[in-house]
A and B are shown apart, each in its own frame.
Chain A
Amino acid sequence: MHYSVYVGVAFAALFGVAGPFLARRLAPAVAAWLLSVGALIAAASGLASVGLLAMTIVGQNSSLAAAGHWSSSTLRRADPVHLPVAITALALFAFGIGRCAWVLVQRWRAIRAAHRMNRALSDTGTDLVVLGDEAPDAYAVPGRPGRIFVTKGMLALLSRDECRVMLAHERSHLRHRHHLHRTAVTVATALNPLLAPLPRAQSWVTERWADEDAARICDRALVASALSRAANAARPAPRPAAALSMSGGAVDSRVAAMATEPPRLGWVMLGIALTLLVLSVLGTLDGVTDEAHLFHVALLGHAHLGHLRRVFRAGR
C-alpha cells in the first residue's frame, strides 16, 4: 500500500483546519452548505482511508481469507502497512462508527422533541409564541411548522423595528433548516475527530446567514443594534436542545460584519475549499485502487498455491 491513503486523511484534516477560515470569507449561505456537505465528504473520505488501513490486518485473519479465497500469507508478505498502524486504524474505525451512532441518536432525539413540542401547540394563526417570562429570551424551535418562542421581556426590550429583525432572523433559521446544517457537521465530527473545529464555525455561519436574511427587510445598522441589544440582555432559560437563537455565538463579530457591505460569494475561497475536498477524495480513491491491487495479489497467491498442490499430488 502506498502513501495515497494517508494523503486522503491529510487533506480531510486540512479541510477541518482551513474550513472555519475559508467559511468566514464566503457568503454565509454558501459557507453553510460548504461546511455541511464538505464535512460529510471529508468524514467519509477519512473513514474510508482508515478502513482501508484496517482491512490489511482484518484480511490476514485466516478464516476470513479462506472464505474469500485469498491467501493470508501472501497478504502478510505483500502488506506495506506496519502492524501498529493497522491496529490503530482498526480502533479508530470502530471508535468513529460508534461515536457517530451515538451522536445521531442524540440529535434525532433532540429534533424529535422539538417537533413534538410544536405539535402539542394548537394552530394559533401565527408562528410566534409569546412566553410570559420577564427575562429576555428568544429562540426558534424546528418542527412542522416550526415556531419562534419569545418572552415578554424580550418584546419589551426591543424597539418595534428591532423586534421585526429578531423575528426575521429566527424565521431564517427555520426556513433554511439550519438545525440540519449543524447536525451534518456534528455527525461528521463524530466520525472524524480531525474535523473538530467545524461545529463552532457552522454555528457562527448559520447565525450570520440568519443575520443577512434579516438585513434584507431593513438596513444593516438596525440589525446590528437589534443583535447587540438582544445578546447583551438575553437570559437564556431551559429550552429544547434543538432550538436556535439569535443571541447564540460570537455576537461581536456578527455586529462588526453588519457594519460592512454584504459579503460576496468568494470564488477563490470556495475554490480552495473544493480543491481540498477533491484531493482528499482522490487520495482515498487511489488508496482503494492500491488495496484492490493488494488483495488481487493475495487472490493470485491463493490460486498459485492451489496449483502447486495439484502438481505435487499428480507427481506422487
Chain B
Amino acid sequence: MTAHPRRGPGELEADVLATLWRSHEPMSPGQVRDALDAGLAYTTVMTILSRLHEKGSVTRQRAGRAFVYTPAFAQAELAASQMRALLDRGDDRDEILARFVGSLSKRDERTLASLLRRPARPRRS
C-alpha cells in the first residue's frame, strides 16, 4: 500500500497517532514517516506532529537535536467531562462533592488540595 490520493481532514493525524500508540517507545518524525509508509514528506509528518502536540494529543522530549514523540491520553479529559456531567445532573452538588472527597485516598486528597491552592487557571466553558 502506498500513497492514497484522498484523505479527509484529521485522517492523516489519526494514522500518525495510531502509529505512535502502536510503538512501545517514543518516535522521531523520521521513524513515524517510515512506519507509516505512505510516501509522506518529512515536513508533512513534522507539521502533523507539532499540531498534535499543540492540541495535547502527544507529548515530546528532546533527544539530541530533534524531538521524540509519545502519545497522550485524551481519556483524562473524557473522565473529567463525565464527572462534570454527573455533577450537573445531580440535584445536590454539595452533597455529591462531599461524598466524592470523603471517598478519596490520602494521596488523592493531597493532589486535590495542591490543585486547589494553585492560582486560578483559565477555564474552558
Q: Which A positions have Cβ atoms within 8 angstroms of B? A: 116-117, 120-132, 145, 148, 150, 152, 155-156, 160-161, 163-164, 167, 171, 175, 217-218
B74 at the A interface (CB under 8 A): yes
> A120 with B71: in contact, given A125-B52, A128-B14, A164-B15 (CB under 8 Å)?
no
Within 8 A of A (CB), among B13-28: 13-19, 21-22
* Residue B66 at the chain A interface, CB threshold 8 Å: no
User: Is A155 in contact with B51, judged by CB distance below 8 angstroms?
Assistant: no
Majority SS at the chain A contact face: mixed
Which residues in A have their C-beta under 8 angstroms from that of B52? 124-126
Secondary structure call for the B interface: helix
Cβ of B101 to closest chain A Cβ, rounded Å? 22
Interface pairs (15), CB distance under 8 Å: A120-B77, A120-B85, A125-B55, A126-B10, A126-B57, A127-B10, A128-B14, A130-B21, A131-B75, A132-B73, A156-B22, A163-B22, A164-B18, A167-B18, A218-B1
Beta-carbon nearest neighbor of A159 in chain B: B22
Query: Which of chain B's residues have a CB closer than 8 A to the CB of A163?
Result: 18, 22
Q: How many residues of B contact A (CB 8 A)?
A: 33
> Could you tell me which B residues sit within 8 Å of A by CB distance?
1, 4, 8, 10-11, 13-19, 21-22, 35, 37, 51-52, 54-57, 71, 73-75, 77-78, 81-82, 84-85, 124
Q: Are B73 and A124 in contact (CB under 8 A)?
A: no
| Contact indicator A128/B18 (Cβ below 8 Å) | yes
A122 to B55: give the CA distance in the assembly, Å.
Answer: 9
Other A-B pairs beyond A123-B55, A125-B51, 8, CB < 8 Å:
A124-B56, A125-B10, A125-B57, A128-B17, A129-B75, A132-B75, A163-B18, A217-B1
